[in-house]
Structure 1
Amino acid sequence: MAGVLSRLLPPRRDPRWPRDFHHRRTSDLLSPRQAYELLRAFPPRAERDGSGVPVVDALPLPAAGPGEISVTWLGHASTLLRVDGVTLLVDPVLAGGIPGASTRLRPSPVTPEELPPVDAVLLSHDHYDHLDAPTLRRLPRSTRVLAGGGSRPLLARLGFTDVTELDWWESVEVGGGRGEVTVEFVPAHHWSRRTLLDTCRRLWGGWVVTGSDGRSVVHAGDTGYGPFPARIGARQRDLGHDLAVAVLPIGAYAPRHLLRGVHMDPAEAVRAAGDLGVRHVVPIHWGTFVLSGEPVTEPRERVLAEWVRAGRDLADLWDLPIGGTRAL
């Protein structure tokens, strides 16, 4: 009987992980009054217009094989990375709205069922705009999932049987017959929560994926600005890696005094690119949901201006439409 129950119940939290990760936070959480202030700052419904956000069909995907890095933006933070023949799906939110933002401003360019075979799903953290249960339930339960420490019980409840939990700076190999890459979990200035009772129970972070040729792509997940990009860039150089592409969030930053600690604004994203030492940047985390006070298309307009102001070549800013792909 005990054996049957153990198979029916999700696994207990790994004793390797602390009860929570509050000690990893780099900013204070919003008080109830500040959370109300944030909600009050949202644009009026009449101004929540996604018509200025470009969308294209994601399929068919351009070919990407060994020796290539390909980035497809699927809206918000959802990204398909293909590195050295390995396909990775990051923070997929493809099934519709989310709690707090019940309507997408622009449609998903692909359904979960239309995705190519995925070697692993990478989850930066557990917020609903990054870990979307309705999307995950439409993926094969045998899909390998990588996430921060403390995430296994939640993902087991969703039916996933191959879950790897990582601490910051830990890495694993991912791949199969098409190739193999190194995937490292890296720090972010953020936090985690899905309910009132699980604040910071699961570790948050970003991802660095490195192919056999030493070229890497970083997906920063959700993060405020701080010293981590410089540390990530320095670590990659110490490992002999060439950090070639960065997928960086640019939206959900206003009011600034409330969100500075957990979300970069466009100017900070450009600074982070310099800190990382990366040439090509894909701006994400804008144009899909209303989660803060800035106008819908302002993040894109500002990041283009800040990129030019920093003296960088506009050709290196991969300003993708939702569904768009760029490759090295």
Structure 2
Amino acid sequence: MAWQNPWYDASLAHHTPEGFRNPEEELRKPGDLQRWRRERKAANLPRPPQAGYPAFIESWCQSADLSGNDDRVWWLGHAAILLRLNQRYILIDPVLSSRASPLPFAGPERKTPAPLSVTQLPHLDFVLISHNHYDHLDRPTVKRIARRFPAAQFIVPLGMGGWCRKRGVRHVTELDWWQSVDVSGLTFTAVPARHWSMRTFWDRNRSLWCGWVVRNMTLNFWFSGDSGYSDNLLEIANRLGPFNLAALPIGAYAPKWFMQGQHMDPDQAVHLWQSIGRPLTLPIHWGVFELADDPLDEPPAALEIARQAAGESSQGFIPWRIGESRSLLNIDSD
């Protein structure tokens, strides 16, 4: 018997009897994946950073300094983010292994060092996962977290709870788009993203993908997760904004004909940033893995060009170094 979606709700456009889908049109056509692979192999893409990998690491990487006790946000590379709110630590999409792959010897290799390890965390209260792709859901990292911090609460999209429990996670909550959970003065809301899910050859779109909104008395943070651009994303700000902190993706967008349905480019990210009111925004989804045709050093340069083309001189949406942090005290005045 074919697998059936146990969460299926016919009233929800992103549900299907077989899993989940985007409300937006599917832009990829049969054969596009093979075409992209042929073209990137023929062009020898992606290319290294212009100055080479060691110089890129020197320019864009540092160790994460967790000292202090102020409310703070760290970028840990790619889509991994650490929040400290009232001495509670929240880790989002932690991928700290050497590859974003099911195999230790093949698949996308980390090109820049992780800025911290799980053992360097003083404690961990919450882990948010956006979807099950290997560059966002890292089995070795999850297993280390589950062993070191057994009380940590994982909050994940529908369909990912079982995977987490099998890797030792004791406390997991699954949410659909627009559902929330309130814990210890924090509200976590799963919000739509334009993406997809797949962990094996047999589970395409059987689990949901999402972004996250994290809110307390002073912070209202939108983590977009992995997402192509869509005007539907503006509904997140309409319902849950205004935001004073955001994380928007700027990498893995080339070639646009193939990636645009799942990854936004810097021009689209700037447009989205403007549309949600220009909060302090961390550019994510770049700098660690070579997942598309854009080299590691292209997204931050393209973001600067996009920002200038949009007439923006504000420093509210500029690249951070991997491992860099910002205080969240008086964030609305940044």
Partner of 1:258: 258
> Is the Cα contact below 8 Å between 1:93 and 1:130 reproduced in 2?
yes
CA deviation string 1:251-274 (max 9, x = no partner): 000110111011000010111112
Partner of 1:289: 289
Matches of 2:311 and 2:291 in 1, distance apart? 30
Matches of 1:45 and 1:260 in 2, distance apart? 17
SS of the aligned residue for 1:140 comes to helix
Deviation at 1:209, TM superposition (A): 0.6
Letter in 2 for 1:320: W
CA deviation string 1:257-293 (max 9, x = no partner): 1110110000101111122224211101111000001
Partner of 1:313: 313
Partner of 2:12: none
Partner of 1:111: 117
TM superposition score normalised by structure 1: 0.85
Matches of 1:84 and 1:275 in 2, distance apart? 30
- Residues 46/308 of structure 1: CA separation in 2 closer, same or farther (3 Å cut): closer
Equivalent in 157, 160, 182 of residue 169 of structure 2: 160
Matches of 2:79 and 2:308 in 1, distance apart? 24
Matches of 1:148 and 1:163 in 2, distance apart? 10
Deviation at 1:14, TM superposition (A): 8.9
Alignment of 1:156-235 (within 5 A): 156-175=165-184, 180-213=185-218, 215-235=219-239
Deviation at 1:295, TM superposition (A): 2.1
| Percent pairwise identity | 35
Equivalent in 60, 64, 71 of residue 70 of structure 2: 64
Letter in 2 for 1:307: R
CA deviation string 1:56-75 (max 9, x = no partner): 1102345324xxxx221111
> Is the Cα contact below 8 Å between 1:232 and 1:276 reproduced in 2?
no
> Is the Cα contact below 8 Å between 2:177 and 2:191 reproduced in 1?
yes
Letter in 2 for 1:202: S
Matches of 1:64 and 1:318 in 2, distance apart? 22
- Residues 74/323 of structure 1: CA separation in 2 closer, same or farther (3 Å cut): same
Unaligned runs of at least 5 residues, structure 2: 9-15, 329-334
Deviation at 1:307, TM superposition (A): 1.7
Aligned length: 304
Deviation at 1:207, TM superposition (A): 0.5
Matches of 1:291 and 1:164 in 2, distance apart? 29
> Is the Cα contact below 8 Å between 2:198 and 2:205 reproduced in 1?
yes
Deviation at 1:311, TM superposition (A): 2.7
CA deviation string 1:130-187 (max 9, x = no partner): 0000111111352210110111111111111211000101111233xxxx21111000
Matches of 1:14 and 1:39 in 2, distance apart? 31
Q: Does 1:126 align with 2:132?
A: yes
Partner of 2:78: 76
Q: Does 1:147 align with 2:156?
A: yes
CA-based RMSD of the aligned residues comes to: 2.3
SS of the aligned residue for 1:145 comes to strand
- Residues 117/187 of structure 1: CA separation in 2 closer, same or farther (3 Å cut): same
TM superposition score normalised by structure 2: 0.84
Matches of 2:198 and 2:144 in 1, distance apart? 22
Partner of 1:5: none
Deviation at 1:114, TM superposition (A): 1.2
Deviation at 1:230, TM superposition (A): 1.1
Deviation at 1:83, TM superposition (A): 3.3
Matches of 2:116 and 2:35 in 1, distance apart? 35
Matches of 1:206 and 1:249 in 2, distance apart? 11
> Is the Cα contact below 8 Å between 1:20 and 1:202 reproduced in 2?
no
Letter in 1 for 2:238: A
